Structure 1
Amino acid sequence: MTTIIDYADKVWTGEADTAAYHRGDLRKDGLHPVGDGVYMWPAFGNVYVFPTSAGIVLYDTGDRRTAGELHTATRQMSEQPVAAAVYSHGHIDHVFGMGPFDSEAEHRGWARPTVIAHEAVVDRFNRYRQTRGYNAVINQRQFQAPTLQWPSEYRYPDCTFSDRTTVDLGELRMELHHARGETDDAAIAWIPDRGILCCGDFFIWASPNAGNPQKVQRYAHEWAQTLRWMAGLGAEILLPGHGLPIVGVDRIRTTLSDAAQLLETLHCQTLQMMNAGASLDEIVHTVSVPDELLHKPYLQPSYDEPEFVVRNIWRRYGGWYDGNPANLKAARRDELARELAEISGGAERLADHARDLLARGEHRLAGHFAQMATDAEPNNPIAHQVRADVFTRLERDAPSTMAKGVYAWAVAESRAALEGTTRTTELRAMTTGRTQWAF
């Protein structure tokens, strides 16, 4: 029988793809042994289970959808209590699996599991509660999940740390290290005596998620530094927050070093151009990544894109002003669109030009004119039909989940305007049969 390690080997070499993993096919087999005393629950956000003589330790806990399945799979492996759980960071696909274990502990008279996390996880949960509506909207759009509701209650950690700490339970000694990358609250777990490295979302089998256009600041430079540090540990098993395990010191070093190089080249080029006085527009359309990196099976821009990382680096160092003085105190978008429509002959002329640009393969330009047409005349059916056509093409051609989500949302808005329905209804129809992500 093919093991998850065999499958992972074929994915790393490009002989297989990750479709079975992303469909959730692997969960039907329960927990998968992946190393010395560690099992993997291959959920959207992976969970790693460490049985010890003093109880079970979890690294990450998954999301709400699979919490019950995780509990069942863990109980099929062992009846020991869960003594502790570590959050790799506070994203909701990693921190919502504790409910069944907490309830079980209360029902059976066990001590409640101790949840350990970096101290910034507390601030994240507090922020999530303050921005629940906003997080619902941006994640509905990002994942094309129109019925998604952002949670209001969280399982807060019982113990937090600032820089590093150690979890000692039974024969397990797990070193936790804080670093900033996709988030500011990450906890990397290194188990030296077993050569096991749990890296959370520092590696996700895709181009690093350091540029998400709808989320808070990411830290490309620190992320690259952390990848270099991890590459030098000599780990024998790399257990990522998303995707499959990687086995072998050389392979792990190569994987992490390649990811670091990708971020380093983006960071270096962006800062060089910023220091030379370039505008954001110039930088976004100039900075690039070597093709050989993006063609690696584990670095393809399927979730985030290097272009978005460049924008996040700019935001980190340069603020929100993009170098265009007209944008410093910009006019309302609809006012600008109406003026352009007036001098060009109306919104339908803008829409016609968007259609011509689309036919010529100038898809980005077409997007601008299609959007301006509906901004100028929000109830114009011709403008909305062209807008739907343009952003349908942009969604089809986009490599990343981030871009596809934004473009699909625009298509749904225009189709809803044409049909007199709501955006939620239209999106529900569009996403039937698609994978619905966790956040």
Structure 2
Amino acid sequence: MEQPKDATEATKRALAEFAKTLPPDNGADFELVKRGFIATIPDAKVLNEAGHAVWDMGTFAFAGEGCDCPDTVNPSLWRQAKLNSIHGLFEVTKGIYQVRNFDLSNITFIEGDTGYLVIDPLISAEPAAAALALMRKHRGDKPVVGVIYTHSHVDHYGGIKGVLSDEDIEKGLRIIAPEGFLEEAVSENVLAGNAMGRRATYMYGALLPRNAKGHVDAGLGKTVSMGQVSLVPPTESISVTGTKIVVDGIEIVFQVTPDTEAPAEMNFYFPQFKALCMAENCSCHLHNIYTPRGAQVRDAKSWSWYIDEAIDLFAKETDVLFASHHWPRWGSDAAVAFLKKQRDLYKYIHDQTLRMANHGLTPLEIAEALALPPTLAAEWYTRGYYGTLNHNAKAVYQRYLGWFDGNPANLHKHPPVEAAKRYVDLAGGAAALLERGRSAFAKG
């Protein structure tokens, strides 16, 4: 592979100008991400049975806390990378614990009467097992009494065999998921799995070197683990908002949120802990309405509506809000402020995209014109570390109007090779095209 190059002068200028648009950083997120820290393992390094690393945060040490932003990296992404570099076991509140940055997602442990209820056992078995071992080392060697899958994406169920034994599975230990979980997990990850896998390789930068000229961060988390992935079907499904169950003395109140961040997803509230889990419906960034790895376009209107419903159902009684990615928010006021702006973020993108579409703008025109209002742009947790305003606007357009932009010339376009031949001819031949291309690159 060709080695990455230094930043061009045009890149340096562009990043310097972009830095001027960022909100002030008072360090509050760095305090939140460290709050409740208990312990970790060196570099969060996890090996498989063959001795190969399936997860190693040491490979991202170049982007750790205290490292200055290089001129090859967007300064906003660099800040997110530093936040995502802080790993280990954390106390969310007494009785609720998370292991963060042992994989792309978080694994959460709730202490019951006799054991641990596990929420979202990561992508791979090996990191999930390492997280459980860390929990047991510091909170007691107790059994797993149940598992909750928040939704149908692999980073929330694939590591199940790291926390449950075959015996646990055979005896039907409780695995709770939203209605439609199994169908959606299979549909999204199997039917189009080959294509998604290839595209995910590009999306997550899996082939790039881990350095300041390559793979820096995935925004949603560091990257994806490379261990054993399994799918164990749930033993019970939640289909109705307001459903209450008890697992090992832990009371849970569910909110079903279909067609939001995933086709099958749910939030839930723990009354005895006054803790709200928002699954992946709220994270410390702007999420994907359409994921570049490929999936059905998500319903931004529905997504916003269910966040609003969560505010009505749970926010007044919430002392701490946590999620399947990133770090918690403590205090009812902070939780409500966060939820409201996440709600408004997706509704704004939805409404403004449709407004401009109804005025006759094409997807490309809408994507270039759309900008967040100051009240939303002022927050770090509304920035596009995973989704972007540009491609999310196109996603909303696609959901309502499909891929066709209304221009007849784009209804039946030439495939890439044929189009390329015509562009070369139009430019006056290959030599002329290369010369103009190099000139354009030099200008940035």
**TM-score class, shorter:** 0.7 to 0.9
Distance 1:329 1:98 in 2: 45
Distance 1:10 1:166 in 2: 32
For residue 247 of structure 2, what is the aligned residue in structure 1?
Answer: 169
* Paired residue secondary structure (1:200): coil
Asked if the contact 2:260–2:298 (Cα under 8 Å) also holds between the matched residues in 1, the reply is yes
Asked if the contact 1:294–1:301 (Cα under 8 Å) also holds between the matched residues in 2, the reply is no
Distance 2:362 2:349 in 1: 16
Counterpart code for 2:198: V
Asked if the contact 2:244–2:254 (Cα under 8 Å) also holds between the matched residues in 1, the reply is yes
How far apart are residue 292 of structure 1 and its match? 4.6
For residue 345 of structure 1, what is the aligned residue in structure 2?
Answer: 428
Q: Kindly tell me the number of residue pairs found equivalent between the two proteins.
A: 349
Task: Give me the identity figure in percent.
Answer: 22
Higher helix proportion: 1
* Paired residue secondary structure (2:202): helix
Greater Cα shift, 259-268 or 275-284: 275-284
Asked if the contact 1:129–1:152 (Cα under 8 Å) also holds between the matched residues in 2, the reply is no
Alignment pair present for 1:40 and 2:98 = yes
Q: How does the TM-score come out when normalised to structure 2?
A: 0.72
Specify whether residues 273 and 251 from structure 1 end up closer, same or farther in structure 2 by C-alpha distance, changes over 3 A only.
same
Structure 2 gaps of 5+ residues are 1-27, 36-64, 67-78, 209-223
How far apart are residue 50 of structure 1 and its match? 0.8
Q: How do residues 26-425 of structure 1 correspond to structure 2 at under 5 angstroms?
A: 26-27=87-88, 31-43=89-101, 44-64=104-124, 65-76=126-137, 77-103=139-165, 105-106=167-168, 111-127=171-187, 128-146=189-207, 153-164=230-241, 165-179=243-257, 180-216=259-295, 217-232=297-312, 233-234=315-316, 235-361=318-444
Specify whether residues 289 and 207 from structure 1 end up closer, same or farther in structure 2 by C-alpha distance, changes over 3 A only.
same
Specify whether residues 42 and 315 from structure 1 end up closer, same or farther in structure 2 by C-alpha distance, changes over 3 A only.
same
* Paired residue secondary structure (2:352): helix
For residue 55 of structure 2, what is the aligned residue in structure 1?
Answer: none
How far apart are residue 137 of structure 1 and its match? 0.1
Distance 1:150 1:284 in 2: 37
Specify whether residues 199 and 39 from structure 1 end up closer, same or farther in structure 2 by C-alpha distance, changes over 3 A only.
same
How far apart are residue 110 of structure 1 and its match? 9.4
How far apart are residue 133 of structure 1 and its match? 1.4
How far apart are residue 5 of structure 1 and its match? 9.7
Counterpart code for 2:299: Y
Distance 1:257 1:348 in 2: 55
How far apart are residue 314 of structure 1 and its match? 0.9
* Paired residue secondary structure (1:194): coil
Structure 1 gaps of 5+ residues are 362-439
1:412-436 CA-to-partner distances (Å, cap 9, x unmatched) read xxxxxxxxxxxxxxxxxxxxxxxxx
How far apart are residue 275 of structure 1 and its match? 2.3
Counterpart code for 2:288: N
How far apart are residue 293 of structure 1 and its match? 2.1
How far apart are residue 243 of structure 1 and its match? 0.7
How far apart are residue 51 of structure 1 and its match? 1.3
* Paired residue secondary structure (2:278): strand
Counterpart code for 2:108: Y
How far apart are residue 38 of structure 1 and its match? 0.9
* Paired residue secondary structure (2:237): strand
Distance 2:380 2:426 in 1: 49
How far apart are residue 85 of structure 1 and its match? 0.9
Asked if the contact 1:166–1:174 (Cα under 8 Å) also holds between the matched residues in 2, the reply is yes
How far apart are residue 7 of structure 1 and its match? 2.6
1:185-240 CA-to-partner distances (Å, cap 9, x unmatched) read 11111123432111111122111222323322112111111222233422211102
Distance 1:169 1:347 in 2: 68
Distance 2:298 2:140 in 1: 38
Distance 1:328 1:230 in 2: 41
Counterpart code for 2:323: P
